[in-house]
Amino acid sequence: MIAANNQVGLFYNSGTYGNATGASLQWIGEIQSHESVEKVGVFEKRYLGGGDRNIQQFVDGPLDFEANMMFHPQDWRMFIFALGSNVDAGSPSPYTHVISEANGAGRYNGYTSGTLNPFLSFNVEDAQRYSTGSNFVRNISGAIVNTLTLAGTQGAILEVDLNYVASNVTFASGAATAVTEGTTRPFMFSDVIISLPSGTAIDPVESFSWKIDNKLDRKHYLNGSRQLILPIPTERSYTVELNVDNSAVNTKAFWDQYFIGGSTFNFMIAVDAADAGAGSRNAFMIMSGCKMVDMTSPSVLEGINSQKMTIKPLNCIINVNDTTLLYNPW
């Protein structure tokens, strides 16, 4: 089947965990790939008296479902599911969205009176369309973001790589759910400026990546089911990697002050789609309490010397301005 017949979209959960009843299929960006992996945790059994060297028995163990998705972002809604909290405001357009960390009583508070905070999860419909009645539609429920990575490279479209864990997958052969496609162009390398709090740009940056890791703990409780009951986010961490040409005037300053000197610092990844008009579609990802943990500085025979910097922020908040009235689906 040709790729043009594939479609992937999200349902926001409402009410109880994994429940998308009444929700509409959401377009989250220009999805380039989606690979779901369904695992049956088979135990390979051998025992005394089996009579030969082979496996004597297979026993079905825990069921695990996870997936990897890559898309070109047109807005920043999926970052809510990675960080946990969002506040919508502003009128008229551009509207503001403040995406921030949720802890404890926020997004990751687990069960409350038998239900799960619906902000936590989403469902995914992955449809490989042949014809109605013979389609292959995977309905993945109770998905929670494990890791989310935003990456940009010179001359390229920004990419978001998403890994999520889910509780169940069912299959259908009917028609795929209709989805309204986004029409704005995806964010580009040319929209990005990375800077220090003073406003000094870190330049020239060849590429960057920013990873949010929720370190999900996959719980299979003793409850009469093989399914994953609830992927629980544990310690959250951030990792930023920058590849910077050594011709940058601030390379030595970074070395002296932040690497050898050990100073902590704040910095910002700003993404502004200039073609949409000044201030009408942008995001400011503000990292605080940052620590430089690694610098790699190869001397090359050909080309330009560059440095790879690995930075660990303590906290992050994202301030968004765009033409979307509401990011919150609930």
Q: Name the residue ranges covered by the structural domains of the chain.
A: 3-39+61-322
Res 107 pLDDT > 50: no
List b or e across 250-289, with b for residues whose CB sees 16 or more CB atoms inside 10 angstroms: ebeebbeebbeeeeebebbbbbbbeebeeebbbbbbbbee
pLDDT (tens digit per residue) in 307-319: 889 999 999 999 9
Phi, psi of 253 (to 5 degrees): -60, -40
pTM of the model: 0.89
pLDDT (tens digit per residue) in 19-69: 776 678 999 999 999 999 988 889 999 888 877 889 999 999 999 999 999
The residue type at 217: D
Confidence of residue 109 (pLDDT cuts 50, 70, 90): very low
